[in-house]
Structure 1
Amino acid sequence: MANIVWHTKLRIFIDLNKDDLDHPEFPDLWETIYRIDRYHGRLGTPVRERELQCGGVCREAGVEAWMHLRVRNGRREAVHERSEDEARHTVPMSDEHKAYQERILRAAEEGGFHGDSEVRTRVGRSWIQTDTLVEGADSRRIGWEVQLSTIGSDGLRGVRARAAKAEKNGITPAWHTDRADYGQRHDTHWTRSNNLPAYVIARTGDLRVISGFRKLDFWHCDVHAVHPCPDGVRRCGKAHATPVPKDVMFDDLVRQTAAGTIVPIQFRTPTKLYRFWVTDSDQERYNDLLSDDTQLPAAPEDTRAPANASRNRPTCRPELIATTSTLSAPPSVPGPATFSPVLPTQPPAPPIETRTAPGAPPEAETDEENQVGSTIQTGLPETLIVLQRVADKEHLRLQQMAGNDERKRQRDVWFEAAHAAQSAVTQYAQAKRLNRYEVEKELRRLVRHPENTPAE
C-alpha cells in the first residue's frame, strides 16, 4: 500500500493522508476518482488501465507501479497491482542505519539544533524523503542520507538526481557511507567512516570521518612550491589551491554543517569536478582565488579558542598507527633528527582516499637499512633513504606475489610505505626550501643506483 498516488490523466499527486487529497481546489476529488476506479473494477478493467500509479517510493525508483483504490475500516488505501512493488515499500532498515540516524539527531540536539528522521518534503509535483533532516542556523537545512555496505553495488543510481532535487528545495545534501567505492564518487558531497557495527556507532565516543572533509592549501606557483602546477607547466607564477585530506569527528561535522562553519564546495580541476566539505573560511579564500589568481588570498585571523582533547573514547581509530620516529638519524648526518610525516604529497587531482598517520611497516627497521646512512654520505637525511628503501622493498615483494588476496594486502602495505617516503620528502624540501622534484630524484638515484654515487 502507499499513500501517495500519481494520476496519469490529471497529472497530479494525490495524498490519501489528507482529507482534501492535498487539492483543496477540487472539493469532490476523492469521490470522483474512487467512483471511477470502482466502476472499472466492476467491469474487470486491468489495473494498469485505471490511470493510477504509485507516486512515492516506486516513482522515485523509476518504476511504473500501477494501483487501485479501496476503503478499509474507514481508511482510504491505494493497493499495488504486483506484490514485488508492494515489497519495495517495506525494505527493512539495518541496525547500523538506525544507529547513524540516532547519532545525527543526538549530535544536532547537543549543538542546539532540531532534527527529525524520515522527513517527506513536497517538491513541486513530486516528493523527496530525507533520512535525517537537521534544521540549522539562518534557515539552513542539512539533509543527511546514509548509504551503508548493506545495500548492493547498484544501489546508488539516481544519487545526483536526488541531491539536485534536495538542493532545489533548499536542502543541503550530505551523504555518508562506510564503503570506499561510494566515498570515491563525486556526484554529491560524500563523507565516509570505517565499517562499524551498530552498537559502536550508537556509543557516545568520537566517530572519525576519514574521507570527504579537506583543508585547502593555498600556495604560490614558483620554484619553491611543493605541489606541481595544476596547469601543466613548470611554474606559472600564479596562486593555486590544493585540497589536503583532513580528518574530522562525525558529531562535529553534524553540528558545524548545521551552524555553517563547514560548508560544501565544488573544486574544479582541468579534467574533473570534485565535491567535498571545507571550512567556511577556506571557501571564502577559494572564491577570492577564483576571482583573482594573481595573488594569494589573505589568510583569515583565527579567533577560535584553542581546541582541547575530547573526553570521549574513540569509536574508531586510524586504520594505520605507525610513525617513523624510531628511525632517527645520527647527529653527524645533516637534516632533522626524526621524521613524523604529516603533509601528504598531492597529485594534480585531489586524492580520493584519506590517509591517516602514515609510516613505515614494523619490518622496516632492519640492521642493513639502519646502516645505510653511514655507508653512503649523500647530504640527505638517513631517514629519507631508509623510508625509500622500505617502499622499494615492499614494491618488489608485491611483484613476486601471485594470489589476488595476498597482492591486495601487500598493495596496501606498499601504498603506506610509499606514502611515508613521499611525505618525508615533502617535509624535508619545505624545511630546507629546496625543489621537491630534485630532492625526490636524487633520493631515488641514491637508493636504486648507489653505484653511481660519486666518491668523496
Structure 2
Amino acid sequence: MANGVWHTRYGIEINLSLPDLGHPDRPDLLQEITVKVSERDAQLLECLAHHEKRECLSESGGKSPWMFIRRGRVGGRRPLVASHLPLTHKATPAESAQHKATKERIVETAGRYGLHAEAEVPVANRRSVSDAVVTGPGGLRIGWEIQYHHLGPSSVHRRSVNAVEHGITPLWVAKDRTASLIDRAPWTRVDDMPWKDIADGKEMVIRGGYRHLEVWRCVPSSERHCLISGGAGHCGAMHADWFAPALCLPARKPVHIEELVLRSATGESVPVYVPSRGNGRAGRHMWVSADDRALWQELVGEKNPLPTVPAEDEDDVITFAEQEIDRTCRAGEEGWFAGDGRPLRDLDQPTGGFTLPRMPVQRSRGPMRITDVERAAASAALGCPPWEIGPCTGCGQLMRRHGRNAAMYCTVCRAVLNERQP
C-alpha cells in the first residue's frame, strides 16, 4: 500500500504516514485530499513513481496513474494509503448486448403480466437513471439496475439511497459472484448468458440473492445444526435462519427472473436486511417472501427492511506510523479495484440466524403463558397451525399439543418415560 503521493496543484510530495502529512504549514491539506474524487480534479494526486518517470504498473494493470486517499487496514491500525483510480470501464459489445437484452426482457415480462414498466427512467432529481422501473397494481415501484461490470460500493450505496428517497425500491442484478454490489443493496445474481439466449427467453434462474426462512427446534432428531454450539450439540431452543432454495430442507424450487418481476411489483417478494451477529455494520441484503419477512420481523422485532447503513469505517481513528515514503508503485497490491482479483461475495452460507430463548420448565399446575412470538416460531418449526401449539406435559417445551395426531409429551419425554418402564 502506497504511503506517499504527489500533489499536482501544489507541486509537493505528501507523506501519508505523518500526522501533518509533511506540511505543517497546510492545516487543511488532509481535508483537501480526502474529498470525493467526483468533487475535485481527478488528476490532483499522482503516483510518485509516475511523476518521477520511473516504472509505474498502473496503466498496464487496468488502473490510471492518478490516485485517491483511503483508509487501509493493517492489523488493528487504520493508516492512510494512496490507491490508484481504476480506469473508467467501458462496456464491451457483449456486455452492452447482455445489458440491453436483460432490460428488455424485464420490461416485456412486466407487460405480459399487465404491469406498467418503463426503461431508462430518470430519478426525480436526475442524479441517476434506472434501467427499468416496474410499477405494481398497488403503486409499488421497483427500480431494476442491471450491472454486469464492476461498480464501486459507494456508487451502489449512493444510487440505492437516492432511489429509496424517491419512492423506488432498488433491485440490482449481477452476473458475477465477486460483484461489489452484492449485499450493498437488495440484489440478485443470474447466470452469465449470451445476449441471444436472454433475448430468446432461455430459462433465467436467480442464482443468488433470494432466500427462504426456516425455523426448527434444536433437538437430536433435527436435520439442522445448533446455531449456538456450532453443531456440537443440541440446545433445545428454537432457531431461525435464511437459506438459499437448494439448501432448504426439503429443497425449494429456484426462482426465475420472470417470477421476481411479478412478485416484487405485487409485494409478494420483498427485500430484507439481516445484520451479521456481532457486527452491526455488516449484513446480508436479500429478497424473500412477504410471509417470511413478516415472521422474521415478528421473531426479532426488526421493522426496517432497508436501513441506511453507514459507510464502512467512516468513524475509525486514523493512525500515523511516521515512516519514510515508499516510492515503489503498488498498483497491483491494492485489493478490489479493476485489474485485481476480488473475493467472492455471493456465498451460500447461512446468515447466523436468530435463537429464541428456551422456555422455562413448567413448575406449577397453572396455565403456562405462551407469547405470540413463541407460538409463531413453534408453528413454523413444527408445521402446524398456531392454535395446535401447547406445552409438553413433562418438560414444558412447545410442541404439537392439540388437534389430530397430537400428544401430551414431546418425543424426548416419551423416550425417557419408555426407558423407565420395566
TM-score of the superposition, structure 1-length normalised?
0.42
Relative contact order, higher structure (CA 8 A, sep 6+): 2
Larger Rg: 1
